[in-house]
Amino acid sequence: MEKFRNLIGGEWVTSSNGATFENRNPANPEEVLGLFPSMTREDTRRAVESAREALPAWAETPPPTRGAILYRASQLIDERLEEIAVTLTREEGKTLAEARAEVARARDIFRYYAGEGWRMGGSVLPSNVHGEMLYTRREPLGVISIITPWNFPVAIPAWKIAPALVYGNTVVFKPASLAPQCSLMLVEALVEAGLPPGVVNYVTGSGREVGDAMVIHPEVKGVSFTGSYEVGVQVYRRAAPAMKRVQLEMGGKNALVVLEDGDLDLAVQLAVRGGFGLTGQACTATSRVIVDEKIADAFVQGLCDAARSLVVGDGLDPATQMGPAVSQEQMETDLEYVAIGKAEGAKLLVGGGIAKKGGYFVEPTVFDFVDPQMRLAQEEIFGPVIAVIRAKDFDEAITKTNTVAYGLVAGIVTSNLQRAFAFAEEADVGVVKVNEPTTGLALQAPFGGFKQSSANTFKEQGQSAIEFYTRIKTVYVGYGV
């Protein structure tokens, strides 16, 4: 069994108390993939201090030079793409095709932000005083704590770490304990690409020990967190007394609206891809389908047929179309919500049980006649469970789309351009998709939600990332009489 180390100040280290934890294969839980250090608060403080010591030199490094390191890291990721993808599938469970796409996305994110090194800057403003130059400059925020989830253990670290680095910050990075190895490969690529010691520090362990220490350390100036709403609120509260900058991306309860004028076959395809792709373990997953009651029966029949035909199994098997839940706990959560849906009176049409033994395999599940106020329609499940909600018309569909606490993504299937744009205006979400799956995002576009899906402050990805990772300084230069 391989024993992995953490990176602090350019040195590969173990926990100061020798504690470790295992990562396992969710398709074969008896397979232990490796041992990782369970770091202590003191270890984490040392990582933050290493990042603080490395900050001045890194911040003074020209942005194009910082970008060149990111570009070289992207090349190394590309060279190891298959190896990282296989590791991702073994750790997290998604199919190998899904894993390859995620690693390719991480590669492209590093390439994108490498280019931002040539674009970073402020602006020159017109002065209202003769003989004065007025301009702004962008400066790094400082030491950034980055805490990421298990469901996209390569892509999400990439879209946080890459902008943090290119804009001149140093980083302390904690991956999710269920999938630490593939994110370690990103860090290894950065080190091999020439990243100076201490600029990125990689620490594994519990949120209670490592995560909390990363949030409250006085040298940390910003915290970027992706995870559940409940944990995100605690992160926000812990950072608030020191008025740290906080970026939160949390849950979703995303709806796909299917109108009478929409392409029914396309709607079924989008619901299957959004609801069962990635085993439903995505904050952007389609967990609700709100369908016009005039076509609901036909849509539900198509959805059920498609759900029954999906092949569930080990993601490394080329025949597999949906992998396992990431852990026993997540599998039990999925099955618990099935029981809740039944108890609430929703009609279970497909699935609802264990697909096969030997791993955490849950059947693709479809409920019909779900009331919008049921827990099944309100709470994030994070599994392959779709709740079908019927609506009498377009206006009711919009109302039902917005009657949840989350506001991340909403999609609509329609051939009516007027309704498509009306939906884009009225859906209370951060991302709207028209005739596309709720999953899948362009890396160059801003990403973030409304309501309980985020802190409603800073967006991620694209050029919007600069707002979180930099601060603006205004400069007045008098040069005349």
Asked whether residue 29 falls in the same domain as residue 160, the answer is: yes
Q: What pLDDT does 315 receive?
A: 98
| pLDDT score of 1 more than 80 | no
Q: Are residues 319 and 426 in the same domain?
A: yes
Answer whether residue 162 shows pLDDT above 70.
yes
**Taking 70 as the threshold, does the pLDDT of residue 456 lie above it?**
yes
- If asked whether residues 472 and 424 sit together in one domain, one would say no
Q: What is the pLDDT of residue 106?
A: 98
Shared-domain flag, residues 229 and 340: no
Q: Give the mean model confidence (pLDDT) for residues 337-355.
A: 98
Q: Are residues 63 and 84 in the same domain?
A: yes
Residue 371 has pLDDT above 80, yes or no: yes
The answer on 10 and 43 residing in a single domain is yes
CATH number of domain containing 85: 3.40.605.10
Give tens-digit pLDDT for 260-283: 999 999 999 999 999 999 999 999
Residues sharing a CB contact under 8 Å with residue 418, sequence separation 6 or more, in sequence order: none
Q: Please, is 414 exposed, middle or buried when counting C-beta atoms within 10 Å of its C-beta (0-12, 13-18, 19+)?
A: buried
CATH of residue 334's domain is 3.40.309.10
User: Over the stretch 194-234, which tens digit does the pLDDT of each residue have?
Assistant: 999 999 999 999 999 999 999 999 999 999 999 999 999 99
CA 167-139-449 angle, 5° bins: 60
Q: Is residue 272 part of a domain?
A: yes
Q: Is 283 a catalytic residue?
A: yes
- Quote the domain boundaries for residue 422: 254-434
Q: Retrieve residue 323's tokens.
A: 């992998």
Catalytic residue of the set 246, 259, 283, 310: 283
26 and 135 share one domain: yes
User: What is the residue-averaged pLDDT of the chain?
Assistant: 97
Q: Are 274 and 245 found together in one domain?
A: no
Same-domain pairing of 219 and 318: no
CA dist 326 and 23 (Å) reads 11
For range 170-193, the mean pLDDT = 98
* Interstrand relation of 6-8 and 11-13 (parallel, antiparallel or unpaired): antiparallel
The pLDDT value recorded for residue 416 is 98
- Number of structural domains in the chain: 2
pLDDT of 480 above 90: no
Percent of the chain with pLDDT over 70: 100
The reply to whether 246 and 258 lie within a common domain is: no
38 and 97 inside one domain? yes
Label residue 481 by pLDDT band (50, 70, 90).
low
